[in-house]
């Protein structure tokens, strides 16, 4: 992989987790196993480092999932498995610790490129590098989808998302069911049915669609819904978001993808939300969306 810049980031996270059973990751139970650690490594006599996903008293939320071996992989019951190792280690005489990882680019929180479901777009080079950073960053609405349905045209209609809103993160039953924390892929996840995707494309200004499991499309419309969304090459799909414990509302979304990958899609490495002021919320989501979109 070319994503060298991510290596130290990933490894520092997992190495340091050896020394602390963190209380700062309340929504991720049982993932402090130190997957980058090696048996018999002594714990370091330092205070535990802060490991947060909520910053500044709840003004900033990290909504990416931490890469762990137990995380689900689309269509598999095995989970991600070991993906991270330490080819050069100071304990073994190296000048520095250098870790390496190997990962399917569709793992965890990630964006889809147009070439993911259109082979001609893939051949023409519409990879993740062509996605619009302006669209990936800006005001976004986090909405709760009724829990008794996939996202159909009817559901989309019922959400009353105002015109002008360009980025929407859809929180569904997937979050309640904590599907992203279960190793086994679960095909009963909630996603967009083809008619829901069509409704969004035809009746809204939404150009960034975020969801809380590994696919924007419901399992039975996997291909159809992706084709609807990706056809114009104007819509960015962000999948596998971690929306637990984040109040619904209007946020400033920061989403950064990794560059220069010829493959169809790539991991989204940093995505966070900034809650706008309480005053703004009191004006009502709809009014505020009109004003700030
Ligand atoms: C280097 O890697 C070892 C594992 O071999 C680890 O225990 C140690 O904390 C690492 N050192 C630094 C400075 O990260
Ligand atoms: C150091 O090298 C030994 C022998 O090759 C190996 O068993 C051990 O796992 C290595 N330790 C680290 C921290 O890389
Ligand atoms: C969503 O659709 C899937 C099939 O793709 C189905 O298994 C699941 O039960 C549906 N969920 C809801 C809440 O209707």
The string of pLDDT tens digits covering residues 242-287 is 999 888 888 889 888 777 554 445 555 445 555 544 334 333 333 3
Domain ranges (residues) in the chain: 110-292
Any idea which ligand is nearest the CA of 15? 1
Spatial contact of 159 and 169, defined as CB atoms under 8 Å apart: no
SS3 160: coil
Distances 213 to 11, 17, 74, 106 between C-alpha atoms, Å = 24, 25, 9, 11
| Positions of the chain with pLDDT lower than 70, given as ranges | 1-44, 260-293
Atom 7, ligand 2: residue with shortest CA distance = 92
The confidence score (pLDDT) of residue 41 equals 52
- Using CB distances shorter than 6 Å, the residues near ligand 3 are 148-150, 173, 188, 190, 218-220
Distance 128 CA to ligand 3 centre (A): 29
Measured from the CB, is residue 41 less than 6 Å from ligand 1? yes
Write down the pTM of the prediction. Answer: 0.79
SS3 84: strand
CA gap 122, 130 in Å, rounded: 11
Task: Please write down the HEC assignment for all residues of 23-79.
Answer: CCCCCCCCCCCCCCCCCCCCCCCCCCCCCCCEEHHHCEEECCCCCCCCCCCCCCCCC
Mutation to probe ligand 3, out of 75, 150, 185 (largest number of atoms < 8 A from CB): 150
Q: Which fold has domain 110-292?
A: Glucose Oxidase; domain 1 (3.50.30)
Q: Strand locations in 155-240, DSSP E?
A: 167-171, 208-211, 236-239
Distance 139 CA to ligand 3 centre (A): 30
Of ligand 3's listed atoms, the one at least distance from the Cα of 173 is: 13
Residue given tokens 């992203």 in the structure block: 180
């Amino acid at each position: 992989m070319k994503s060298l810049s991510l290596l130290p980031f990933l490894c520092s996270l997992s190495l340091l987790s050896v020394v602390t059973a963190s209380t700062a990751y309340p929504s991720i139970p049982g993932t402090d196993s130190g997957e980058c650690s090696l048996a018999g490594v002594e714990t370091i006599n330092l205070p535990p480092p802060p490991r947060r996903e909520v910053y500044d008293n709840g003004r900033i939320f990290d909504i990416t999932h931490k890469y762990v071996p137990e995380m689900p992989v689309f269509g598999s019951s095995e989970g991600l498995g070991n993906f991270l190792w330490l080819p050069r280690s100071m304990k073994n005489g190296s000048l520095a610790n250098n870790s390496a990882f190997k990962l399917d680019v569709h793992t965890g929180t990630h964006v889809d490129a147009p070439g993911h479901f259109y082979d001609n777009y893939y051949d023409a080079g519409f990879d993740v590098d062509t996605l619009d950073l302006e669209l990936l960053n800006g005001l976004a609405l986090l909405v709760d989808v009724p829990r008794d349905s996939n996202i159909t045209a009817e559901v989309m209609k019922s959400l009353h998302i105002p015109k002008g809103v360009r980025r929407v993160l859809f929180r569904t039953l997937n979050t309640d069911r904590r599907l992203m924390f279960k190793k086994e892929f679960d095909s009963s996840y909630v996603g967009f049915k083809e008619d829901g995707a069509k409704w969004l494309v035809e009746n809204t200004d939404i150009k960034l669609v975020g969801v809380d499991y590994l696919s924007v499309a419901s399992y039975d419309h996997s291909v159809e819904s992706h084709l609807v969304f990706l056809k114009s090459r104007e819509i960015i799909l962000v999948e596998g978001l971690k929306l637990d414990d984040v109040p619904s509302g209007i946020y400033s979304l920061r989403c950064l993808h990794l560059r220069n990958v010829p493959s169809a899609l790539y991991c989204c490495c940093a995505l966070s939300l900034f809650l706008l002021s309480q005053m703004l919320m009191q004006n009502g989501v709809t009014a505020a969306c009109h004003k700030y979109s």
